[in-house]
Structure 1
Amino acid sequence: MADARRPAAVLWDMDGTLVDTEPYWIATEFALADEYGGTWSHEHALHLVGNDLLESGRYIQQHMPLPLGPEEIVERLLDGVVAKVEQAVPWRPGARELLAALIDDGMPCALVTMSYERFVAPILAQLPPGSFQVVVTGDRVTRGKPHPEPYLSAARLLGVAPGDCVAIEDSETGCRSAESAGCTVLAVPHHVPVDPGERRVRRETLVGVTPADLAAVLV
């Protein structure tokens, strides 16, 4: 990686980017609707992709609807997805390979996710220790994505400027968060579309992406 273009850090989204856990969330949402006799749809589920979990809880409470508070809904969802991810972690193609290459290159990496710490822990346990120097979870920020706080927090904890970082995201919500923080965004859409943007570079997959490729997209 050329030093002149080298990012100060790479900031990773998790759900849909590092791992394909969105189907776990969606299946758990439908199971919750069945349990309480509510109604749900794939369109509703996709509306929540990338969102702050409490915002998702409020949306579910209103649209399912459920006789539970948003916090209770979030905990029930976490119970379901944690159980699934403890059985199998569905890695996204090329993600672990790129992460390993960045580690070998000495690149600082942060995980920036709206999932809560208890869901993130079993996923991190399947990676080499220290893969991420910083982990920002949804239960450790005041304002979640699409607000810039999660990415600003990750850059601050790493001691780098957000404008010198590349964020890897899969959703419009996440891209808005990273972009508004000042990051350049490598957008790899998966379950939901991502709009073009001045600080966004689109790839169809992380397969074959190298640290040099990330240096080339840095604005």
Structure 2
Amino acid sequence: MELSDAVMFDLDGTLVRSEHAHRVAWQALFEHWAVEVDEAEYARMFMGRRARDVLGEVPGPWTGTDPETSLDVLRDHSRHAIAAVEAVPGAAGRVAALAAAGTPVAVVTSAGAEWAEQVLADVLGVRHHLSVLVTAERVTQGKPSPEGYLLACAELGVAPGRCTGVEDSPAGIAALVAAGVGTIVGLTTSSQAGTLRAAGAHTTAPDLTSQPV
């Protein structure tokens, strides 16, 4: 694979196995609003996306209500679930190796700053290796919008075509494609390889131990 001038990672599902934690938080919200969402619909409409965007776009009993009420439910359950979060194999070592080699590293996540900072520092121990961190609060539109990745590229000072992006969800892959990122790697931690390739991934890998970036 051609070397890139910078590498950008998603966080949840890419650097850490945390989708189960977010699923628990979303399920608490569904129960709060007394709605049923099956796994297929959850994967298609909710997974890998910024909660504020989903609540604004997906019709439900939350439509027209103050989104902070729903976001507070998600935040509360996410805080309790962080203890169950585990690193994706090879993640911490890959970030550290890239930083040691002088390759700037960014994380672009649909999660909020509180979650991202805690996971990066306490679960992965790599926060100090990052040149850029883009969280949900820093964009007006979350994935699949390219806004977060374009912001990261601007702050890295690297053109998107000279970057590698690593994602685990179709929405994240779509964001990388829309941003014009040169090399797109899909991790099959939460989606199948075929799904990620259909979304635009150039290559796929099961984790970060095999040096896909």
TM (norm. structure 2) is 0.86
Query: Cα distance 1:37–1:149, how it changes in 2: closer, same or farther (>3 A)?
Result: closer
Query: Cα distance 1:158–1:207, how it changes in 2: closer, same or farther (>3 A)?
Result: same
Q: Residues of 2 paired with 1:148 and 1:154: CA distance?
A: 10
Q: Residues of 1 paired with 2:201 and 2:35: CA distance?
A: 40
Instruction: Report whether the alignment pairs 1:189 with 2:183.
Output: no
Correspondences of 1:1-219 after superposition (within 5 Å)? 5-47=2-44, 48-58=46-56, 62-63=59-60, 65-66=61-62, 68-85=65-82, 87-126=83-122, 127-183=125-181, 184-192=183-191, 193-196=195-198, 200-209=202-211, 213-214=212-213
> What is the total number of aligned residue pairs between the two structures?
205
Query: Cα distance 1:21–1:149, how it changes in 2: closer, same or farther (>3 A)?
Result: same
Q: Which runs of 5+ in 2 are unaligned?
A: none
State the AA in 1 paired with 2:196. V
Q: Does structure 2 retain, via aligned residues, the 8 Å contact 1:57–1:71?
A: no
- 3-state SS in 1 of match to 2:185: strand
Cα distance, 1:6 vs. partner? 3.0
Q: Deviations over 1:161-215 (max 9, x none)?
A: 1110000011111111112111121111332331336662222322221xxx53x
State the AA in 1 paired with 2:206. E
Q: Which runs of 5+ in 1 are unaligned?
A: 215-219
- 3-state SS in 2 of match to 1:101: helix
Q: Residues of 2 paired with 1:129 and 1:135: CA distance?
A: 9
Cα distance, 1:118 vs. partner? 1.4
Cα distance, 1:58 vs. partner? 3.3
- 3-state SS in 2 of match to 1:178: helix
State the AA in 2 paired with 1:171. S
Cα distance, 1:140 vs. partner? 0.7
Cα distance, 1:7 vs. partner? 1.1
Q: Deviations over 1:58-114 (max 9, x none)?
A: 356x34x348533321232122112221x2431112212211221221211000001
Query: Cα distance 1:190–1:59, how it changes in 2: closer, same or farther (>3 A)?
Result: farther
Q: Does structure 2 retain, via aligned residues, the 8 Å contact 1:14–1:111?
A: yes
Q: Residues of 2 paired with 1:182 and 1:38: CA distance?
A: 37
- 3-state SS in 1 of match to 2:7: strand
1:217 alignment partner in structure 2: none
Query: Cα distance 1:118–1:104, how it changes in 2: closer, same or farther (>3 A)?
Result: same
TM (norm. structure 1) is 0.84
Q: Residues of 1 paired with 2:27 and 2:71: CA distance?
A: 14
Q: Does structure 2 retain, via aligned residues, the 8 Å contact 1:46–1:191?
A: no
Sequence identity of aligned pairs in percent?
30
Q: Does structure 2 retain, via aligned residues, the 8 Å contact 1:134–1:158?
A: yes
